[in-house]
Copies of this chain bind each other. A is one copy, B any other.
Amino acid sequence: MFRTNITAMQGYVPGEQPQGMEYVKLNTNENPYPCSPTVKAAIGRVLQVGLQRYPDPLATAFRERAAALLKDEVPGITPDWIMCGNGSDDILTIVTRSFVAPGGLIRFPRPSYVLYNTLAAIQGADSETVEFESDWTLDERFTATDERLQLAFLPNPNSPTGTVIAPSGVAHLAAALPCPLIVDEAYADFAETNCLGLVATNERILVTRTLSKSYSLAGLRFGFVVAQPQVIEQLNKVKDSYNCDSLSIAGATAAIDDQAHFVRTRDAILATRQRMTSALRGLGFDCIDSQANFVWCRHGQRDSRELYQQLKDAGVLVRYMNYAGWGEGLRISVGSDEQCDLLLAKLAAIV
C-alpha cells in the first residue's frame, strides 16, 4: 500500500513540545520574548474582515515588504525573488521535491539538522554527510562530484553547533558544487554575516529564512526563500496553492515591519548568549562560540544524557543530541535572563 521508502523510514522526531505542562523550555530554540504587538493587531484586522475567503496564493503583501527590507543586501531584489512557505520546513520540502528525484543524493554536513535526512528518505533519495573540519568549515569532500548528487543543504549558522561559514566560503562551495545549494539561514538573524548577497551572483544559491526564531513566531508557521526569479518561478509550481494562511501572511508582514522590536529582542538574546556561554564554561562545560540563539555544550566530566534528564526532572527542558559516530551533547536555547539564571542555578546544583 505504501511506498517501501516510507514504511522503511523512521519519522522525524521534533523536539519535545509538552502541551499544558510548565517547563523552562530551552529545547527548540524558541524566542523567549513575545512578538511585536503589531502582529496581534494585524491578525485582529484579518479576523474582523473574516476568514471565509482563500488567502492570497503568493502572499504578495509579505513579499513586497520583504523585498523592500532586503534591497540593500540583495542587489536587484523584487518580490519575484521570494517565495513564502508554511514555516521554512515547507520551503525545505518544496526544494527537495523540486530538485531531487528518487534514487538521487542529498549532501549535508554532520552534525547538522536531522530533518534533511528525513526529507531525503521521504523522497526516496539517499543522504550523504560530510563532517566539519576542526574549524567548522567544510573541505572539498562537500563539493565532490557525484553523478547522483542533486541537492546540498548547508545550515548556516549550523545547528547544533551554532557555527558559521563565512559568505566567501559559501560562495566557494556553491561554485564548486555540481548541484543547487540551499543555505538554511534559520538562525542568521543572530549571526554576524549571512549569504543573502550571494543569491544575485549564482542562481544555484537559495537562501531560506524563518520567522520562527528571530521574530518569535514559531506558532505562526512562516518562512521564505530568496532566489533568482527564474528559480522562484519553478518552485511556485511545486508548493501547495494556498500554503500560507491569511492570518500568518498578515502577521508575518507586520512582524518584519517592526524592525525596532526585532532589533531590541535580538540584542537581548545576543547579550544573554554571551553571559550564558561564559557561565557554562565556568561550570565546566566545553562550549562552542555560537552565532545562533542556542549554545552547544558538553560537560568535561558529566554524561550529557544524564544531565538532560536531571535538568528535565528539575523543570528545565534542553535538547540532548547524539550523532552516531560523531558524539553527543546538549543544545541549550538562549532564553530570557530569568530563564538563563534558573538554568544556571539548576546546573550548578547538579554538576
Given A43-B43, A47-B43, A99-B2, are A54 and B241 neighbors across the interface (CB < 8 Å)?
no
Given A6-B234, A237-B6, are A52 and B34 neighbors across the interface (CB < 8 Å)?
yes
Closest to A40 in B: B47
Given the complex, which residues of B lie within 8 Å of A111, measured CB to CB?
none
Closest to A118 in B: B237
- Whether A56 contacts B236 by the Cβ 8 Å rule is no
- Interface status of A247 (Cβ within 8 A of chain B): yes
* Stretch of A65-73, A156-164, A217-225, A281-289 on the interface side: A217-225
Nearest CB in chain B: distance from A5 CB, A:
8
Tallying the copies of this chain within the complex gives: 2
Given A86-B243, A122-B97, A241-B14, are A50 and B25 neighbors across the interface (CB < 8 Å)?
no
Given A57-B14, A122-B237, are A102 and B102 neighbors across the interface (CB < 8 Å)?
yes
Closest to A88 in B: B240
- Whether B241 contacts A50 by the Cβ 8 Å rule is no
Cα A243 to Cα B221 in complex, Å, equals: 8
- Whether B6 contacts A216 by the Cβ 8 Å rule is no
- Interface status of A155 (Cβ within 8 A of chain B): no
Nearest CB in chain B: distance from A38 CB, A:
12
Cα A324 to Cα B221 in complex, Å, equals: 38
